[in-house]
Amino acid sequence: MFEFKILKKSKKSGARLGIMKTSSGLVETPSLAPVATQAVIKTLDSQEVKETGTQILIANTFHLHLKPGENFIKEAGGLHNFMNWRGPLMTDSGGFQVFSLGFGRDLGIGKISKSRDEEKIGLGSQPRFVKITANGVYFHSPLDGAKLFLGPRESIKIQEKIGADIIFAFDECPPPLSSFEYVQEAVKRTHHWAKICLEVKKSKQAIFGIVQGSKFKALRQESARFINSLPFDGFGIGGDFGPAETTTKILKLTLPCLEEARPRHLLGIGHLNDIEKVIKCGVDLFDCTVPTHYGRHGVAFVSAGKLWKKLNLRHQFFLKDKKPLDSQCRCFVCQNYKRNYLSHLIRAKEITGLKLLTFHNLFFFNGFVAKIREKIKNGRI
């Protein structure tokens, strides 16, 4: 069962307020999907994740295939039972690992352009440790080096066994330093794979097709039109969008090529700076590791008047700071603990420190998005 209902469309921007119905419950959109790569939000249990206001999680096909393996999850009663998360779940297809374990690893870069880097990836380039072919991708397991192959058929089979409510088509996430020609080929592969994913899927899970095209407007639009022509339940928009300032430009050109009635999930974008901007472009869902990842690295996102700021609790300075992490925040961390203690825990590498910051950051991000939903409702954006 899968439905998406748009409750309100903004008159001031492309923002939409909606409800996504899945077999496991509702998701108010726009929403953040925190990243539970290994069927867990690192440091938190499912009950705690719920208490952060999280409505939907995204787990990872590639990593769960390696460990514990989809068959174990299936035998455990599917991902929901396995991890005791009763709400909506998605699985990413493994397409991001084509990048992160491939060119991302080779070049030591993330998927977002940092500057106007020169294009280093030309047509026909291959990463060192990953081989990309027309039918799929050969990987080496980051756990033990074992060879493995993942293509559209494999990814879908695995995702069916894992059993999330929403699954993603297998795609290739091209690196930000790609040339036009390289991305063009990657988009072709992704489109070819998208069709296969739809053909082989037998389950009743919802499936989202992924739009690629990097920073190239023509490719983005072509990809959006193509993916839109296929009977996907929703859309993922992946890859990079060039330097920060071009992200919204590209989204504004891409999203109108997608049927309005189907939800759009922006893959892997969700710094606080980006969230409102992308929602105004018409994004309904997005996932991002920033709140959890930064939390474990000692950084808390907190209110600063109407805005926000980052606090790096690793700094000794905070050992003298007796204020709550965020005096405007109603989460249990901010109700019960002070910055001096949190800083101590982080500096002492205590696991509870990582947990408390993870909890707060997720609570903060979810609250941040909830406020944006309010703004759409009230016609303020």
Interface residue with RNA, options 32, 57, 58, 279 (CB under 7 A): 58
Residue 251's H or E segment, with its range, is: helix 244-254
Query: Which C-beta is closer to RNA: that of 4 or that of 365?
Result: 365
Residue 329 binding RNA, by CB under 7 A: no
Residues of this chain, 124-183, that bind RNA according to CB under 7 A: 129, 142, 168, 171, 173
* Binding status of residue 115 toward RNA by CB under 7 A: no
Does 313 bind RNA (CB under 7 A)? Our answer is: no
Question: In whole angstroms, what is the distance from residue 7 CA to residue 12 CA?
Answer: 15
Q: Any catalytic annotation for residue 171?
A: no
Does the N-terminal peptide bond of residue 174 adopt cis geometry, omega within 30 degrees of 0? no
Instruction: Copy the structure tokens of residue 314.
Output: 């690793």
Q: What is the largest CA-CA distance in the chain?
A: 60
Beta carbons of 179 and 205 less than 8 angstroms apart: no
| Piece in contact with RNA (CB under 7 A), picked from 13-21, 58-66, 75-83, 219-227 | 58-66
Looking at residues 276 to 305 of the shown chain, list those that interact with RNA (rule: CB under 7 A). Answer: 287-290, 292-294, 296-299
Tokens encoding 261? 């009635």
Task: Return the number of other C-beta atoms located less than 10 Å from residue 83's C-beta.
Answer: 21
Q: What are phi and psi of 370, to 5 degrees?
A: -60, -40
As measured in angstroms, the least distance from the Cβ of 7 to RNA is 26
Pairing of strands 89-92, 307-312: unpaired
CB of 196 to RNA, least distance (A): 15
Rounded Cα distance between 173 and 69, Å, is: 23
Q: Residues 194, 156: contact at Cβ < 8 Å?
A: no
φ, ψ (nearest 5 deg) of residue 268: 70, 25
Which of 17, 20, 35, 329 is close enough to bind RNA by CB under 7 A? 35
Cβ closest to RNA, residue 154 vs residue 171: 171
Residue 212 CB, nearest approach to RNA (Å): 7
By CB under 7 A, is residue 269 in contact with RNA? yes
Asked if 312 touches RNA (CB under 7 A), the answer is: yes
Residue 283 or 329 with smaller CB distance to RNA? 283
Token pair, residue 288, equals 């991002």
Q: Which of 11, 320, 330, 349 binds RNA (CB under 7 A)?
A: 349
74 binds RNA (CB under 7 A): no
What does 263-296 look like in DSSP terms, one character per residue?
-EEETT---HHHHHHHHHTT--EEEESHHHHHHH
Q: Minimum Å distance from CB 42 to RNA?
A: 5
**Using the 8-state DSSP alphabet, how is residue 141 labeled?**
-
Asked if 227 interacts with RNA (CB under 7 A), we say: no
Question: What are 301's two structure tokens?
Answer: 């996102």
Mark the segment that binds RNA (CB under 7 A) among 78-86, 96-104, 250-258, 364-372: 96-104
Look at residues 288, 345, 301 and name the one whose alpha carbon lies nearest to residue 319.
Answer: 345
Does position 249 interact with RNA (CB under 7 A)? The reply is no
Our CB check for RNA shows the closer of 284 and 287 to be 287
Distance, CA of 53 to CA of 362 (rounded, Å): 8
> C-alpha angle 292/157/238, rounded to 5°?
45
- Applying CB under 7 A, the span of 9-17, 56-64, 199-207, 328-336 interacting with RNA comes to 56-64
Q: How far apart are CA 366 and CA 347, in angstroms?
A: 26
Which of residues 216 and 294 has its CB atom nearest to RNA in the complex? 294
Contacting residue, 8, 9, 42, 157, with RNA by CB under 7 A: 42
Give the Cα separation of 114 and 117 in Å (integer). Answer: 7
Tell which positions 184-203 bind RNA, by CB under 7 A: none
CA–CA dist 96, 161 (Å, integer) = 20
Whether 287 is catalytic is: yes
**Residue 274 binds RNA, judged by CB under 7 A:** yes
Instruction: Provide the residue type at 2 as one letter.
Output: F
Under rule CB under 7 A, how many of the chain's residues touch RNA? Answer: 57
Which parts of this chain interact with RNA (CB under 7 A)? 35, 37, 41-42, 58, 60, 63, 92-93, 95-97, 99-101, 105, 110-112, 114, 129, 142, 168, 171, 173, 210, 212, 236, 238-239, 244, 267-271, 273-274, 287-290, 292-294, 296-299, 312, 314-316, 347, 349, 351, 354
> Which positions are annotated as active-site residues?
92, 287
